[in-house]
A and B are shown apart, each in its own frame.
Chain A
Amino acid sequence: MTIKERGYAHWDGELQDGRFPWWPITRIGIRLTFKRKFFKFFFGFTLIPALVWLVGIYVSERLEDFKFMMEGETDFLNVNPLYFKTYFTNDFLLFMVVMILVFCGAGLIADDLRHNALQLYFARPLKKRDYLTGKAAVIFFFLFIVTLIPGIVFILFKLIFAGNFQFFASYPWLILSVIAYSVLITTFFAFYTLLLSSIGKNRRYVSILIFGVYIFSDIFSAIFKEIFRSHYFYLLSIKSNLQQVGAVLFDQRTPWNIPWYYSLTVIIAICLFSAYILKQRVRGVEIIK
């Protein structure tokens, strides 16, 4: 059948102003991430810490049954804010978060830059804000699954296993801490990932950056700290700053001998810097002056 025989047909619907114009971007971003090789397996693996902590909560309510494991330890599996803080700020979880970012975040903007897709987005009634929100929401989705959701599930299961509201009455603010820390860590990593994704056109290169900046900021801060004997060098480390603020949010002693708000300032500064660069880098047309 020739083109003329086929003919073009008009669409009789009405184009709408969606309330969330960024949602299709998020949905497709999540779908494309799940289609990546080994991602489902890897993502399942990142949920192991949450599972272990959940088992810990169950065991804490059945201590009589597990007495043989305690060997006189009185603080064994005491579910309190420290227990939550340990989950949220442990090195393994943060490392896994970074690995998730490598899978789901590296190509978010880099792929669009590489394949000139930004002009396709911005030839639509989309604002820069919608585009970035849609991309950031992909990161929020995956990171909330390993931070916010386990945190809330821990609290719920603690209440269910205990069969009373004693835990909630003792720490009524804990759920706010879980939400606040999850939002903080996710927002920070969303900015961090989008920034790095926007400065390269190659997904692999961006993946190395996401991983490398996180790891090397930690290594260098430790080296400088040892050389100069000052805890202030922990401010150079992404991980240390998040752990520092996390400790405060869960009402625990900070791990380093520096004011926590310095770490918060570093985190906010990185977010603001990222927002500025993203504003410059993400545009419908590349202008070469």
Chain B
Amino acid sequence: MSVEIQQIHFSYGKIKALNGIDIRLPQGAIGLLGPNGAGKSTLLRILLGFLVPDSGEGSVLGYDIRSQQAMIRRYVGYMPEDDCFIPGMDAVSFTSYMGELSGMPRQEAMKRSHEVLYYVGLEESRYRMLETYSAGMRQRLKLAQSIVHDPKLIFLDEPTSGLDPQGRKEILELIMDISSKKDIQVLISSHILPDIEQTCSYVVILNKGEMAAEGQISELKQVQYSLYELKIKGEEQAFLDRLASMDSQVEQTEDKLLKVYLSPGTDPQDIFKIAVEEKVQIRHFVKSQTSLEDLFAKVVGVD
């Protein structure tokens, strides 16, 4: 296991950010999902050693998160969410500098920085001042600095934020290339569910500082619920209340489509029984293909 933590608690003053998180992450690309304030960034910061948990134990790449933070940082790459760079430098100097700070010899760091900038598609602009870079170029640069020292594990915090569709596609391709073929583990924290679905096979969903779901995406989608889409005619509210009372969750889209998430063991026939009892006509009934977005909506709750 590359990342293994048990009963991690962390608070910002009186605000509980993480409440008893247990994670054992397998190899490969892993998605870290959750709404704002779920504790994703706090978890990444604890794993990197920026923050010390109030209680709980854990290790990253076999190094203890409380006492061996320097070793963790040596072998982990981090791509922060914020726009960050050092003014007055060009991309080659910057990336090489980051390599040196990770423990690479100076000449090697310089050579390697050319390679990774070429890899992320910044070869043409590697001698340009970073202040002149666009948002997309800076995003690539952040990725380059996170892989310059050839880490065993990379933490990517919102890697596609601020990118146009083409830039996003290319960054995701890079992430998939790194994680699928190069025996480097990638942990991606993102709000953008399709990105996670495209790049990761395993997902961890946090909600309000607690673990909402964890597992292979394909398994979670099957085990967690069945999704049905229906359109009805008649007294809507009473029908919805009855559905909610049978341990299911209902989401209504703008075009009056009802998405009903049924828990495992619930018979879809019950929906028809309730419709009969509440004198509601079901005009449309389809067992839907579930997406990560549906899973996310189910486990973190739909407003």
Q: What residues make up the interface of A, taking CB atoms closer than 8 Å to B? A: 3-4, 6-11, 13, 15-18, 21, 24-25, 28, 32, 35, 107, 111-112, 115-117, 119-127, 283-285, 287-289
Contact = CB atoms under 8 A, between A and B. Distances in A.
B83 interface: yes
B87 A111 contact: yes
A115 B85 CA distance: 6
Given A115-B84, A125-B74, A285-B51, A11 B149 contact: yes
B105 interface: yes
A259 B77 CA distance: 54
Contacts of B115: 9
Nearest to B88: A32
Contacts of A6: 118-119
A205 B28 CA distance: 47
Interface of B: 12-13, 15, 45, 48, 50-51, 70-71, 73-78, 80, 82-89, 93, 97-98, 100-106, 108, 112, 115, 118-119, 121, 145, 147, 149-150, 170, 173-174, 177-178, 181-182, 184
B80 A119 contact: yes
B105 A119 contact: no
Contacts of B102: 15, 124-125
A13 B86 CA distance: 26
A90 B171 CA distance: 58
Given A3-B173, A10-B150, A35 B88 contact: yes
A125 B102 CA distance: 6
Contact of B86 (A11, A17, A115): A115
Which residue of A3, A107, A123 has the most chain B CB atoms within 10 A of its CB atom? A123
Contacts of A289: 12-13, 15
B50 A122 contact: yes
Given A15-B103, A115-B87, A4 B173 contact: yes
Nearest to A11: B150
B85 A24 contact: no
Contacts of B89: 28, 32
Contacts of A287: 12, 51
B12 A123 contact: no
Given A8-B177, A124-B73, A125-B71, 15 more contacts: A3-B173, A8-B184, A15-B74, A25-B101, A112-B86, A116-B80, A119-B78, A122-B50, A123-B73, A124-B101, A125-B74, A284-B45, A284-B48, A288-B12, A289-B13
Contacts of A3: 119, 121, 170, 173-174, 177
Contacts of B108: 11, 13
Given A3-B174, A16-B103, A11 B112 contact: yes
Contacts of B173: 3-4
A172 B97 CA distance: 44
Contacts of A285: 45, 50-51
Contacts of B74: 15, 124-125
Contacts of B48: 123, 284
Nearest to A285: B50
Given A28-B97, A127-B70, A120 B80 contact: yes
Nearest to B131: A115
A13 B109 CA distance: 10
B119 A116 contact: no
12 contacts: A8-B181, A11-B104, A13-B108, A15-B102, A16-B105, A28-B86, A32-B89, A119-B80, A120-B98, A127-B70, A285-B50, A289-B15
A6 B121 CA distance: 9
B82 A18 contact: no
B118 to A, nearest CB: 7
Contacts of B50: 119, 122, 283-285
Contacts of B145: 120
Contacts of A112: 86
A119 B104 contact: no
Nearest to A130: B101
A203 to B, nearest CB: 9
Contacts of A18: 103
A288 B51 CA distance: 13
A154 B206 CA distance: 67
Contacts of B174: 3
Contacts of B112: 11
A75 B48 CA distance: 65
Contacts of B45: 284-285
A89 B57 CA distance: 55
